[in-house]
Amino acid sequence: MKQPILTIVVPCYNEEEVLPITIESLHLLLKRMIAEDLISKESKLLFVDDGSKDQTWSIIHKESVKSEQIRGLKLSRNVGHQNALLAGLFTAKESSDCVLSIDADLQDDITVIPRFIEKFSNGYDIVYGVRKKRDCDTFFKRHTAEFFYKFMSKMGVNLIYNHADFRLMSKRALSELENFKEVNMFLRGVVPLIGFKSTSVYYDRKERLAGETKYPLKKMLYFAFDGITSFSVTPIRFVLLTGLISFFVSLLFGVYFLTLKMTGNTETGWTSLITSIWLIGGLQLIGIGLIGEYIGKIYKESKRRPKFIVDIDSITFPKPLPLKNTQRAKDESYNLNLRKLPETN
């Protein structure tokens, strides 16, 4: 089999301190993988400068002049990690068979990258990098991150536990990702929705090589909130549920308060007042919850997510396809069909 063309995409925001080491380490790795015939000679590194204010772009530019294998993409302003990553993935897709994304700080272990390629060559379309342990993260970061995964799953958002954005995707998985038209793209939630044959590679997460985290607490909370509201209408359901509970409680209380009144154990006016507070409160919450349900539907419609994604289509391709590189086989077969058309006419 021909070696796959790999592009490694690295989003960078104010990473001047760590970038020279990152470029050197990734470049060495790329050259080694090419020498070992794991990947094609056309494989590249793509550094995305997400509107940095420091020397990030000039470092990328300097290195890209020195080597054909190092490429850069400069965004017009800071658009955030997820969008910078998307810009890199979609740009790289055009000239690659598979694209791997990794953070610039090399907290993720680059020595496991050849295992991602092995999995891809074995027919996997998506390979998730999963952290075995997070000993190097601070106590706070570790616990908030673990709480985040559990809370998201309770909210109905299925994430790969302990997986961030260290992942490999095939060209066809990336093409499907392009069909998710939403503006607030929460990649960790969307990628599992693509489906296809997926697997994980486990590694130990290390400390940042240099520089500071670009995800302080405020940004982390915002990211989590964005994740929930981009995927789930569960918070709206809570409002509706609270309204319904409050309404039924008001009915029960109504009976109880009337009994109290009849036995003469209440102040004048209290019974009607307390019952109506519960009743009106419940009705208002039900009303808000119902409106929320409709807004929830509009929100889902407005995302225009694909309703299904085809893996193998055996009507167009009656013969069994090889397990590996289904997309390439699909393209070839399609071309063959086209060539055959004039003969049948």
Among 23-31, 101-109, 155-163, 194-202, the segment contacting Mg ion (CB under 5 A): 101-109
Among 69-77, 96-104, 225-233, 307-315, the segment contacting Mg ion (CB under 5 A): 96-104
Q: Which of residues 48-77 bind ligand UDP (CB under 6 A)?
A: 50
Bridge-based pairing of strands 198-203 and 44-49 is unpaired
The entry of Mg ion, ligand UDP, none near residue 109 (CB within 5 to 8 angstroms by kind) is none
Q: CA dihedral defined by 83, 85, 87, 93, rounded to 10 degrees?
A: -140
Write down the least CB distance from residue 208 to Mg ion, Å. 5
Contact string 90-129 vs ligand UDP (x = CB under 6 A): -------------xxx-x----------------------
- Token readout for 181 is 């038209």
Give whichever of 50 and 109 is closer to ligand UDP, judged by the CB atom: 50
Write down the least CB distance from residue 344 to ligand UDP, Å. 52
Bridge-based pairing of strands 70-74 and 98-101 is unpaired
- Token readout for 231 is 């995927």
Helix (H, G, I), strand (E, B) or coil at 29: helix
- Residue 82, interface with Mg ion (CB under 5 A)? no
Amino acid at position 153, single letter = S
Write down the least CB distance from residue 21 to ligand UDP, Å. 13
Q: Which residues partner with 127 through β-bridges?
A: 168, 199
Give whichever of 107 and 326 is closer to Mg ion, judged by the CB atom: 107
The single residue listed with the structure tokens 């409160």 is 281
Bridge-based pairing of strands 163-170 and 126-131 is antiparallel
Cβ within 8 Å of residue 295, ≥6 positions away: 236
Among 24-32, 35-43, 66-74, 80-88, the segment contacting ligand UDP (CB under 6 A): 80-88
- Residue 105, interface with Mg ion (CB under 5 A)? yes
Amino acid at position 45, single letter = L
Write down the least CB distance from residue 269 to ligand UDP, Å. 57
Q: In degrees, to the nearest 5, what angle opens at C-alpha 92 toward C-alphas 89 and 96?
A: 120
Contact string 186-215 vs ligand UDP (x = CB under 6 A): ---------------------------xxx
Is-contact 226 186, C-beta < 8 A? yes
- Residue 17, interface with Mg ion (CB under 5 A)? no
How far is 38 from 121, CA to CA, in rounded Å? 9
Binding site for Mg ion (CB under 5 A): 103, 105, 107
Binding site for ligand UDP (CB under 6 A): 11-13, 15, 50, 78, 80-81, 84, 103-105, 107, 213-215
